[in-house]
Amino acid sequence: MAYIEIVGEKQLNGEVNIQGSKNAVLPVLAATVLVNGITKLNHCPRILDVYNMIKILEAIGCTVYWEKASLVVNTARLNTSTVPEVYVKMMRSSIILMGALLGRTHSVTITYPGGCTIGARPIDFHLGAFQDMNVSVEEEDGLIKCTTAGVKGNDIFLKFPSVGATENIILASVLADGKTSILNAAREPEILELCKFLNAAGAKIFGAGSERIEIEGVDYLHSIEYTASSDRIVAGTYLAAVAGTGGEAVLTGIGSGCLQTLIKVLREMGCSILSGEDYIIIASSGRPKPIPFIRTMPYPGFPTDMQSQIMSVLMMATGTSKIVEEIFEGRYQNVKEQIKFGADIRIEGREAVITGVPSLTGCEVYASELRGGAALIIAGLMAKGKTTLYNPYFIERGYEDICRDLKQLGADIRRVS
């Protein structure tokens, strides 16, 4: 069984470059289906979710190969709109292929997605939007079958600014007949990234990054070379690791623009942070101040993907902190593992109360989802003695090589196969 071994209580110092963004790259890879040609995607992270998306693209007839740090996708020979169940069950974000395949082939057959077990995350918003765009939706034996004589633009109002639903609607609308308006659209940086990619390939999308996105359907998209942005959650994870262990680190390849809410919290903890267009410098004493109240919210609010990591840091704060999880009810499943370090955490519904303790002790823990696994690594870096973390697969879904990066900052960490 593979595991990660950590010897804690070492300050982090040095410099690390931030990988390409998981949450930006995956919808862009889905969007390559609409190009009907060649896409060269630079700065693409070599993570498990990308490898799973590659397998899906190959299974539906695309040609995919690496050129150093770039991924080349040729979708000209796409020959089926049925997405293999085995890969969909591994990765929830595979659901965004629905919009792309509807736009390209006017049909899609796919199973309900898998991935991290952090909450129900239903896809009702996706399917309802498709139906409003002249798509017939049938559900049978766990399969979702969508067909259309042609996607037609419409006004779509989202009751909640779902990232996945916003992406799926955009992908279905790019080659549609007429104009589509998404009201209460998600505003995450990854939405803006997807729209930048599509516009560079010939789409007509306006208002990305705002609550109202408008898409005018076009006849085709052309081949394109595009460079993905750096991963804000990976950067946030490494900032949290330094906040919890102490030291001074430089993160390169990313600025603070998409991390303002997190950086505000880190400064309240006592960290010193400086940033420029493509770097962030953090210095920490390693014993954070408590944060009276954090509430996870859609962007630009505090990101749910950073909640578990910040909770690990607060486990050694000099007082009591409170977190309210508003996005995914299953995020707190990681707490039972964090408590093994000797943490004092009390859960009441969607509220977590964390009372800082003087020290943590290394132990054996099990990752059960991506960001929670990263949070357990942070706890291990802060703890006395050795920590062994099992199920590193979950972490490798989104972090190219977290052991390499943290070791580069001076951590005593290694992956054992």
Q: Is 62 a catalytic residue?
A: no
Pairing relation of β-strands 155-157 and 179-183? parallel
349 burial level (CB within 10 Å; 0-12, 13-18, 19+): exposed
Longest pairwise C-alpha distance within the chain = 64
Q: Which of 44, 62, 116, 146 is catalytic?
A: 116
User: 307-314 and 370-382 helices cross at what angle (nearest 10)?
Assistant: 20
User: Residue 16 forms beta bridges with which residues?
Assistant: 251
Q: Name the DSSP letter for residue 224.
A: E
Task: Find out whether 134 and 106 touch, Cβ atoms under 8 Å.
Answer: no
60 burial level (CB within 10 Å; 0-12, 13-18, 19+): buried
Task: Find out whether 171 and 34 touch, Cβ atoms under 8 Å.
Answer: yes
Provide DSSP, 115-182: S--S-----HHHHHHHHHTT-EEEEETTEEEEE-SS-B--EEE-SS--HHHHHHHHHHHTTSBSEEEE
Give CA 120 to chain center in angstroms. 17
Task: Find out whether 145 and 171 touch, Cβ atoms under 8 Å.
Answer: no
CB atoms under 10 Å from CB of 19, counted, come to: 26
Angle at 394 between CA 392 and CA 399, to 5 degrees: 85
Q: What is the CA radius of gyration of the chain?
A: 21
Nearest to 180 by CA among 190, 191, 164, 169: 169
User: Residue 389 forms beta bridges with which residues?
Assistant: 4, 365
Angle at 172 between CA 189 and CA 47, to 5 degrees: 50
Spatial separation of the C-alpha atoms in residues 168 and 153, rounded to whole Å: 13
Structure tokens at 106: 């006017």
Residues annotated as catalytic are 116
